[in-house]
Chain A
């Protein structure tokens, strides 16, 4: 196979997290009884007309903002006409002439190099109904009909599958973090199509395009792009050509398969939707929407690292939106943020997973968590003891110290008491003292062990360590 340059563009459909549908007030929900979330508008009943959900406009503005798009101040909708059983009116209300967002970008990082993926446009439209094929019949469930979508279209600016995957990961992170969508590809709330063409050199015109539709996961987007590049290269290598076409990724085959050849381009007979007058996107609305955008992942990453949180903890926190939001309340506090992140990602996460709870479902207030972090940082509470009382900490409202006391976790912090024990241990272990003086570091660990044994683990380890070193001088 000779070398080709690939040109890749990605189109993503994202379902918006609204309470109701875009053009009607029936519920926007997933996984409910078939045809239980509809009204006459969703079903395309004769005589019905659309109304426009305010939250859809707000979320679209939000998306345009986080994707660095310009926002059009006046928009209208268009009808895309095509017959299909999942399309109740046999036209879809979408935006063709005046997409709400345009000329945006998303920054990705591939192999340590930063790159911008350019967004051509993003627009608002309605979802179709869900069809299930059963033998000789197809079953239609209109619950999804009219669920609000935004479609985000990149410029053909990516050159390999890694970039496409990084773009999708980044897009997902941005949209999820700004509460625009669940972005669950497995439930279809995020769906991706990839356009792939290849050519020999930059100076050549673009090659014939194949569109791979509705790919079910980000990793499959990667595989399908690679497979498609390979397939096209083989054809060109043989000196052959192919027609523009639509393909899909077959999970079982691990390859793309042909759906249909595009003969003359689709004839969607677009025209402006007369039932929905112009929508004005005011500066004030944009300003108010911007206020609702939470701290985005890139900013979080930068903040966490600057507070001394390790690279790995930073990544893990950002992957867990709820913990990251919780953590964000502590950014201004004078605590060990690394310890705080360890606690959240370690024992606390284990508890949350086990009990299927959310951090906000526990009794761990910000104040109690700060107390906990400080007790752990200064070793007043050992990790062994923490494990014993974590459940109580997360289920009661008492201060951590009073829980420790009531659970018999004492902590000898009396300097004199500890010093007496240490002096006793030193006098009983002359060889270890000799070893320490000869530079054997291991000896101090042995001596510490003896101190803890003598105090039944109750000596404050940090204090004991400090005093032991002093006494050994």
Chain B
């Protein structure tokens, strides 16, 4: 079979001409998932997916290219009646009684939810190893991490199990795993995609975004999931647009900035070299590339630690064993219910962050840390605005290294933040940022590049990314045709 290896337009034509049915795609997806065996999913939605696929046989295939296509959804996005665990013992029995707005949109587009993907517990981590259900594996080398927190979504896309997945990105959680696994991942502008139904980690940073194997499919999925939502007050009110509209246009005359911080000694040489080489390629394609100094980038991790942990300590306070989720058996009293439930339900990374976050907001610390971080954050956003007065894009490596081993030590609580040092600034400023693969390291692990543009300029990002994608023409199938042998 292997229909899912074809291009999206080819699959659509097959569906339209009734040569295949959605059920063929669903069955193929489940076969793929089983064969790949990457622990990319926490819950498979087999029964419902098959039912939905059969229902779609009675629906006319319209011009929507995504009609009938399977999609994987990160397990921190609420799906009515389908387990939504956040990869936590706290929610391992949680059946939401409502759908996230993006899930309603996926359903309305007649896409089929294939399952819920593995992730770091409550999206806190950079390798998906904090998952209560064990870490997903990287299809390029199954001994290695697929990154995090959207590690399961990255892993299943990279493995070619399905074409589409949703991730969420608070401090790089879409782009960083996309980089480690050689796929395309977009964190849209803050407010572009409704957060209603996304289980909050840090509300001012969280954003849902598409993860796909190429740029065009990524833009198509963003078309489906974006749009103003009155259930989310932070949702952007811009008119709906077609994010594919600039794909195929050349990039002649585009001005691109590479902050020196992004190619400083915190980044592996091999990666810096690849970025510099790519910059040359872009110049050959007609763009102009400058290396610039940008203030505050080196402080983004500190701001992130304070803001993300502070907000998380409040967002995760609701998990108390009273209305839903894990609850301590036979609590002695209300105190025992709170302390016991949260001690049992949360994993250690989550506990650490909640404790530190509570501390950072307590008493006079709120002024000394939290409000100070918000002040610097404002200036940091201003710094980006200033750069975008002169440049169309900012680019740089997505990660400082390529994917590391699943067995690497996890004892330094700072490690997971440092993994995201290059991707966090984008969340701080609420900007759109995309990762795309630009090559491989000496062990043939993917290297990713991030493209950042000004607010609401996703289409422009796709323009550059697709032009470069075409130019580089990389072979991004990790199995290299071996899996079917």
Contact = CB atoms under 8 A, between A and B. Distances in A.
| Chain A complexes with chain B | yes
Interface stretch (A47-55, A156-164, A347-355, A427-435): A47-55
Contact of B318 (A44, A267, A274, A275): A44
B310 A271 contact: yes
Contacts of A85: 320, 322, 334
B233 A269 contact: no
B29 interface: no
Nearest to B360: A269
A245 interface: no
Given A40-B97, A271-B361, A91 B233 contact: no
A239 interface: no
**Interface SS majority for chain B:** loop
A90 B363 contact: no
Contacts of B223: none
A325 B431 CA distance: 56
Nearest to A138: B334
Interface in B319-371: 319-320, 322-324, 334, 338, 358, 361-363, 366, 370
Contacts of A138: 334
A89 interface: yes
Q: Considering residues A46, A91, A274, which has the most beta carbons from chain B within 10 angstroms of its beta carbon?
A: A46
A46 B318 contact: yes
Contacts of A90: 317-318, 320
B18 interface: no
Given A271-B361, A277-B233, A43 B323 contact: yes
B321 to A, nearest CB: 10
B324 A45 contact: yes
Contacts of B462: none
A81 interface: yes
Given A40-B98, A269-B358, A51 B199 contact: no
Contact of B366 (A44, A49, A50, A269): A269
A436 interface: no
Nearest to B311: A274
B100 interface: yes
A47 B366 contact: no
Contacts of A270: 361, 366
Nearest to A89: B318
Interface in A49-88: 49-52, 79, 81, 83, 85, 88
A88 B319 CA distance: 10
B228 to A, nearest CB: 13
A81 B311 contact: no
Contacts of B318: 44, 46, 88-90
Given A47-B199, A89-B317, A275 B78 contact: no
B198 interface: yes
Interface string A27-52: 00000000000001001111111111
Contacts of A91: 314, 317
Contacts of A272: 374
Q: Considering residues A43, A79, A85, A271, which has the most beta carbons from chain B within 10 angstroms of its beta carbon?
A: A271
B361 A83 contact: no
Nearest to A91: B314
Nearest to A270: B366
B361 A81 contact: yes
A305 interface: no
Q: Considering residues A85, A267, A270, A274, which has the most beta carbons from chain B within 10 angstroms of its beta carbon?
A: A274
Given A85-B334, A271-B314, A52 B233 contact: yes
Nearest to B191: A277
A274 B203 contact: yes
A276 interface: yes
Contact of A49 (B196, B317, B320, B338): B196
B317 A275 contact: no
B302 interface: no
Interface residues of B, number: 43
A48 B196 contact: yes
Nearest to A82: B317
A4 to B, nearest CB: 32
A52 to B, nearest CB: 7
A140 interface: yes
Nearest to A39: B98
A389 to B, nearest CB: 57
Given A45-B97, A88-B318, A274-B203, A269 B361 contact: yes
Contacts of B361: 81, 269-271
A81 B233 contact: no
B198 A275 contact: no
B155 to A, nearest CB: 23
Interface string B85-113: 01000010010111010000000000000
Contacts of A40: 97-98
Contacts of A275: 203, 233-234
B141 interface: no
A81 B317 contact: yes
A49 B232 contact: yes
Nearest to B363: A267
A244 B220 CA distance: 61
Given A85-B334, A91-B314, A271-B370, A47 B100 contact: yes
B192 interface: no
B472 interface: no
Interface string B372-398: 001000000000000000000000000
A47 B317 contact: no
A91 B354 CA distance: 14
Contacts of B366: 269-271
Q: Considering residues A48, A276, A277, which has the most beta carbons from chain B within 10 angstroms of its beta carbon?
A: A48
B51 interface: no
A43 B77 CA distance: 18
A50 B77 CA distance: 17
Nearest to B310: A271
Interface string B51-93: 0000000000000000000000000011000001010000100
Contacts of A89: 317-318
19 contacts: A45-B97, A45-B98, A45-B324, A46-B78, A46-B84, A46-B319, A47-B196, A47-B197, A48-B98, A81-B314, A90-B317, A90-B320, A91-B314, A269-B362, A270-B366, A274-B204, A274-B234, A275-B203, A275-B233
Interface of B: 77-78, 84, 86, 91, 94, 96-98, 100, 195-200, 203-204, 230-234, 310-311, 313-314, 317-320, 322-324, 334, 338, 358, 361-363, 366, 370, 374
Given A81-B361, A138-B334, 16 more contacts: A40-B98, A43-B323, A46-B318, A47-B100, A47-B198, A49-B232, A79-B314, A81-B358, A83-B317, A89-B318, A140-B322, A267-B362, A267-B363, A269-B362, A270-B366, A275-B234
